[in-house]
A and B are shown apart, each in its own frame.
Chain A
Amino acid sequence: LAKTTQPISMDSYEGQEVNITCSHNNIATNDYITWYQQFPSQGPRFIIQGYKTKVTNEVASLFIPADRKSSTLSLPRVSLSDTAVYYCLVGGSGAQKLVFGQGTRLTINP
């Protein structure tokens, strides 16, 4: 399983765009990149998944450069409710398990 590295914490303000970068230098050819969000007292929730280039959904965008050794989760115009821990995971399609790292604790201030 590819190891991921992400910042332990980040701070931003309401209305700003937030970018959280994850490093995964030993990503394998068939690995996908998945991001989860966890609010206090809740289980993690799937945000977005991608393989290369850019993926966008109603919540976030995921940017993956050509070498795929890193990825950036982009949250547009954040609000206080986006305060949460964000996890970056890497694993192959059909992989039986993924490993959650320590995540990035994002705090949005008024």
Chain B
Amino acid sequence: DAGVIQSPRHEVTEMGQEVTLRCKPISGHNSLFWYRQTMMRGLELLIYFNNNVPIDDSGMPEDRFSAKMPNASFSTLKIQPSEPRDSAVYFCASTLGGGSDTQYFGPGTRLTVL
């Protein structure tokens, strides 16, 4: 298995632009997690899905952030409009069951908003 796949690996954009991050979980995994990591705030859980349904989005910082999981093999995290404070590394992870199962993380997307 190729593991969790994320794209792009790096994204540089200007303030106000729309950014879309993509994630392909491990085949057969039922839960998917989006995290954001910064030096100041560490690793924050933004949202997680179980069987393609958003279960908890309490970590999503504001309405500019949205996430979808149209099917079991694909999820997106969108920021519109982007702001410099959104600059961070965004990780996607998947598990066979819930969060307490082994989480397999993708390589992350490093986002820079100028």
Contacts and interface: CB of A to CB of B under 8 A. Distances in A.
Q: Categorize the interface residue count of chain B.
A: 20 to 34
Interface in B39-77: 42-45, 48, 50, 55-56
Q: Which 3 A-B pairs have the closest CB atoms?
A: A43-B105, A97-B99, A100-B43
Given A43-B108, A45-B105, A100 B45 contact: yes
A100 B43 CA distance: 6
Interface in B77-114: 91, 93, 97-100, 102-108
Contacts of A29: none
Nearest to A42: B107
17 contacts: A34-B100, A42-B105, A42-B107, A42-B108, A43-B106, A43-B107, A44-B43, A44-B93, A46-B102, A96-B48, A96-B99, A97-B99, A98-B99, A100-B42, A100-B44, A102-B42, A103-B43
